[in-house]
Amino acid sequence: MKHYARSRAWCEWQDFNTWQPHALQALSDPDVAALSPFHLLSLPGITAAQQQAFATRWMADRLLASAHDRAVLAAEFAAAAAVRALQAAPPHAKIRLGYLSGDFHQHATALLIVEMLEAHDRRRFELHAYSYGADDGQGMRQRLQGPFERFNDITALSDLQAARAIHADGIDILVDLKGYTAGTRTALLTYRPAPLQVSYLGYPGTLGGAFCDYVVSDRFITPAGASADYSEALARMPHSYQPRGRLAEVGPAPTRQAAGLPGEGLVLCCFNQAYKFTPEVFDIWCMLLAHTPGSVLWLLRTEQAEGNLRREAMQRGIAPHRLVFAEDLPQAEHLARLQLADLMLDTLPYNAHTTASDALWAGVPLVTCAGDTFASRVAGSLLHAVGLPELVTHSLHDYGALALRLAGDPQRLQALRGKLARQRLAAPLFDVAGYTLDLEALYAAMWSRHCAGLPPQALGG
């Protein structure tokens, strides 16, 4: 698995066709080590149902290892509930939301949620943070602390100790923002420190098992019939599940020369991480370059992948200098330079998420291909929420054909940019206040069902 993860990150595709069969073997053979569910989000040929099976298997050994501690905590929590019942203590007036994450710093998740957290209705909700990530000193941690009643650093606590602390705080709904991403402590949820537990934003898929009650999605990402592929009940937002603020300023674009781009020619871009790239999608990108003389493909620099991608381009008849690699920049500078792109190209099966809404906020149209998994439908969700559903395709053939038509039609590209500029501020994607009200309505519905003694069920949509 380590070899697979490194090969994906570095775009070493020599044995790419063996990865999916090996993954499926690991799912069916108990003697093969379970694979990380996160790595399978970007592997073509893995269905949403199989992702659920992988996630459930991934957690099985961990649940077995923590069985004793979970039983001890369950008894403690039940005893505490019995004492509260005898005391007939009145319930707290507000719904207590606990947000659990290791990314309360300058991170994509924090950039997405900060304005939503600031917009929460303090008359109805009491916010608590449970943080297990370092403060990177860039100021985001300090801003994030503002909306919370209490900001708790649980880095030094074990999962058992952290679960006790969360339970002692009387959290009603614990919201996990990490899932199975790097540095996760999602295993905390298996101790059930809160009556309701929700997976939200950080992980685009099911957590498997039976320790999370809801996953926040939307009508496009999880359409009718998708429920069976998720261990959690679906809580669907009316528009995109992704919050996206409007306070991030897009400053003047730098010159093309300053951004490392040639002075002339179409700029196709994809600022997704390289592990999301696949040979089949890269074939399409190179086809676009071949049919659009003078164009370049602008990618985020990944040192270990750069040489491999240039070699792959040469094998497809594309001069390696037509791949331009951009340095990682602070958010403000990145948004400014994004304006130099003419068209953003998406990846499949793991779409652009934050990078997609970055591009749309900067006024850059995006072409995507929607699959059948959560991760493969996020960019389509964002395009619907910003009023550009015509840029969503449902096969790689159609994706390549649409991108080619746009690449050869500067007037249509300009018209798309104009449409995006006109409706951007009025679009649901960037309506933070409206988004927060919709999310709060889901939280309230979850809590109302729980208080009525009813099990989780699909909400919204």
pLDDT above 60 (res 1): no
Do 353 and 374 belong to one domain? yes
Do 215 and 160 belong to one domain? yes
Do 239 and 285 belong to one domain? no
Domain count, the chain: 2
pTM of the model: 0.95
pLDDT above 90 (res 26): no
Quote the CA–CA distance of 141 and 158 in Å, as a whole number: 22
Average pLDDT, the chain: 94
| Range of weakest confidence among 7-11, 13-17, 416-420 | 7-11
- What would the pLDDT profile of 80-112 be if each residue is shown by its tens digit? 877 777 776 667 889 999 999 999 999 999 999
| 366 in Cβ contact with 269 (< 8 Å) | no
CA dihedral 290, 293, 294, 299 (to 10 degrees): -30
Does 242 fall in a domain?
yes
Does 12 fall in a domain?
no
Do 138 and 234 belong to one domain? yes
Do 190 and 285 belong to one domain? no
pLDDT mean over 223-242 = 96
Does 167 fall in a domain?
yes
Burial of residue 309 (number of CB atoms within 10 Å: 0-12, 13-18, 19+): buried
pLDDT above 80 (res 31): no
- What would the pLDDT profile of 308-358 be if each residue is shown by its tens digit? 999 999 999 999 999 999 999 999 999 999 999 999 999 999 999 999 999
Q: Which residue has the higher pLDDT, 27 or 154?
A: 154
Does 43 fall in a domain?
no
Do 291 and 341 belong to one domain? yes
Does 77 fall in a domain?
no
Does 124 fall in a domain?
yes
Does 316 fall in a domain?
yes
pLDDT of residue 269: 98
Do 141 and 221 belong to one domain? yes
Do 326 and 416 belong to one domain? yes
Confidence of residue 428 (pLDDT cuts 50, 70, 90): very high
Do 393 and 445 belong to one domain? no
Confidence of residue 184 (pLDDT cuts 50, 70, 90): very high
Do 327 and 280 belong to one domain? yes
Six token digits for residue 325: 């690699």
Does 99 fall in a domain?
yes
Count CB atoms within 10 A of the CB of residue 30: 9
Q: Which residues contact 238 (CB under 8 A, 6 or more apart)?
A: 218, 219, 428, 438, 460, 461
Six token digits for residue 84: 């509260």
pLDDT mean over 110-121 = 97
Do 128 and 168 belong to one domain? yes
CATH number of the domain to which 93 belongs: 3.40.50.11380
| Range of weakest confidence among 72-81, 144-153, 241-250 | 72-81
CATH number of the domain to which 411 belongs: 3.40.50.2000
Q: Which of 332, 46, 385, 333 is nearest to 366 (CA)?
A: 385
Do 316 and 407 belong to one domain? yes
Q: Domain range for residue 162?
A: 89-246+433-451
Six token digits for residue 215: 């996953």
